[in-house]
Amino acid sequence: MTAPAKFVGRSVPRLEDRPLLTGQGRFAADISFPGQWTMRVVRSSAAHGVITSIDASAALALPGVHAVWTAADVAHIPPIPFRLTGLKALEPYRQPVLAKDIVRYVGEPVAVVFAQDQYVAEDAADLVEIGIEQQQALMHATDEPGAYTEDLNTEPSVVRKSYGDIDAAFRNAHAVVAFELSIGRHTGVPMETRGAIARYDQARDILEMHGAAKVPHWNRDALAQMLGRTRDSVQLYEGHVGGGFGIRGEIYPEDVLVCAAALKFKKPIKWIEDRREHLIAANHSRQQQHKVRAAIDAQGHILGIDDEFFHDNGAYMRTHAATVPDLAAAMLPGPYVVPAYRAVGHIRLTNKTPCGTYRAPGRYESTFVRERLLDAIAAKVGVDKVEIRRRNLIGKAAMPYTLGLETLGTHIVYDSGDYAKLLDKALDAADWKNLWLQLLKRRAAGEKVGCGVAMFVEKSGLGPFDTVRVEVKADGAVEVITGVASIGQGVETVVAQICADALGVDYAGIRVIHGQTDRIDKGMGAFASRVTVMCGEATRLAATKLRDKALNHAAQLMQTKADALDIVNGEVVRIGGGASMPLGEVARSLPDGLSAEDTFESAHMVYPYGVHVAAVRVDAETGGVTIERYVMAYDIGKAVNPKLVEGQIAGGLAQGIGGALLEEFLYDEAGEPLSVTFADYLMPTAREVPESTILITEDAPSPLNPLGLKGAGEGGANPVGAVIASAIDDALGRPGAITELPVTPQRLRTILNGAAG
């Protein structure tokens, strides 16, 4: 008997890639239905103002135009609800699907045109005349809150997190280090822009929406509620998705509008945004300003951290509600012992595009803040940046470590970790001592070169549940039906690997279904680096249950005991040799087929952790920064497919570099966006992204699931701004020089000129 192949832990090829490589991908723009209409959005050209008139007569007179909607046509549709961290105080600030009376940002949907095709729709949208009496735009979250309505101001809520005696920590401090730090507004910019295609099947009374991503089941339920339908009468379908990164797949006004129109007109309705729309209308993220200080003893041990920050959320509270500032406040302590802590986060609304999550939301920001503090503490007490981190790290023996804070409805308890060990491994991978010696020689020759280090803890595996059904077809093929979504992270491959090992089949023969609400009734989707942890364990449970069911039935057919049988490569075999039976034959012999379903529930997240090391060269004339060396070490407990994890980390690095050096949404004082094309919103190319060394470790498996899994999707992005800032400081010989991201050439030249002056 051949030993069963083991797939978990191996870098087997991705199952997702064949249709993409052969041009058979089905993205939102590829989906069309006979007789469909095209929807085009008419957007506000003013950042803040009162709508005085909307004249659609010229548009309606254009041949091929079927209808134009304004707020009056959708008055029965409520504002878009919250999916996460939906504080009651935030509800009055939710976004309506079309602006009524007031516009609050450039790009806000004011009207929609329905036409026979995209060309007519675009021409018609240009003919809709909107009168707006402009009002003063509020552009800075640090300004005093202004009036939002007669009864509300532009500070919807304040996030507060604390533990310990923070006042005593500062009274007893040997020294205090303090910073004012800011992170620029940027976001995920996927290759595929947003799109939604709705169709109403009158015969079945089913409303379909194609082009779903990320959280299809939640979106299905929310759309049904908003449109006054039962959840079973709304179905969402995910095709291929050209990038997600947190911003794709949430409910936006356009998603609701195509569905409402399909119901109203009994016609398929298609909407695909262009790139300018994406840059001014899809969720932005990141923009925060922090006033932070740390109390330390004479050796640089942290006694307390006190942080007040201002989170610029743009014009409305969208589906993520307070998620980003909540995570920033909760995750700031990171891998260090912080005996006392206080964070006060002001959620402020401005007349800019509304914000949501973007890869490592709240942690990209707070890691920058925390690691800037650690570098400042090192300078204050006269030790190097590695030593100060060692002195403050949470020890392995302290695990599991209760932080004393909550986020996303869970208590933060670091489940496992050996932070010092990973730091050593990262420094070895970077050849840290020799790297320093080389940089010192180059500095002596006049070059501005330096290196930095940053450490972080990530959160992943958010529950509360995932359900999976595994089915064996009559021909022996295996199907795994999940409630998750695929946004490029390799869901089909990883889930197939876990199922294959638990069931005893080849992973290549497994078909993983995701993002289809008609195939499984509930699901949590793909966010918070949760899929491998939650869906992976649910898959293992369901596949194990199915294996037991198959062996028990096969034992009857083969007239033996179940414990005398095994499943190897899709065959039920006698242990020790003898007759065998294909799994498909077992399935055919059962009246109801061969299937099993199971659910994995978890009330706690799991916490991977990492170290990044970077070496940079600064061009004193241009202010340009070249990343010469980059090392990423990440402990994820257990890597199901190491190559896929490496891909996730490498992709996150590229996005982190964008936010550290290039990407930023800028506005003028009137609220006009200045970053509306790729000529203005600069993204890293292959030239700016260095070759990197990626070290995946498995020293701290999670005790919260049998495979020891932790998520891997956000560790490549999390500390990039922090480590590049650390390295630039070092290159300039000025600790604490970098206080703002992105470090653009203009900003760096200002710093250099200030030093020269």
* Sheet order of strands, 37-43 included: 65-69, 109-115, 37-43, 269-272, 195-201, 206-210, 234-237
pLDDT at 589: 96
Architecture of domain 462-601: 2-Layer Sandwich (3.30)
Spatial distance between the Cα atoms of 321 and 87, rounded to a whole number of angstroms: 7
List the structure tokens of 326.
Answer: 């909540």
| Helix (H), strand (E) at residue 120 | helix 118-127
Structural contact between residues 78 and 97, judged by C-beta atoms closer than 8 angstroms: no
pLDDT at 1: 45
Give residue limits of the domains in the chain. 35-135+194-272, 288-401+409-460+605-756, 462-601
**Antiparallel, parallel or unpaired: β 129-134 and 49-55:** antiparallel
pLDDT at 756: 63
Spatial distance between the Cα atoms of 685 and 564, rounded to a whole number of angstroms: 58
SS3 608: coil
* Regions in the chain scoring below 50 on pLDDT: 1
Q: DSSP assignment, residue 355?
A: B
CATH class of the structural domain 35-135+194-272: alpha beta
CATH class of the structural domain 288-401+409-460+605-756: alpha beta
Q: CB-based burial of residue 599 (10 Å sphere; 0-12 exposed, 13-18 middle, 19+ buried)?
A: middle
pLDDT at 149: 96
Predicted TM-score (pTM) of the model is: 0.97
**Antiparallel, parallel or unpaired: β 302-312 and 341-348:** parallel
Spatial distance between the Cα atoms of 521 and 720, rounded to a whole number of angstroms: 39
Identical fold, 35-135+194-272 and 288-401+409-460+605-756 = no
CA-to-CA dists, residue 220 to 38, 233, 316, 327, angstroms: 22, 9, 22, 26
pLDDT at 132: 98
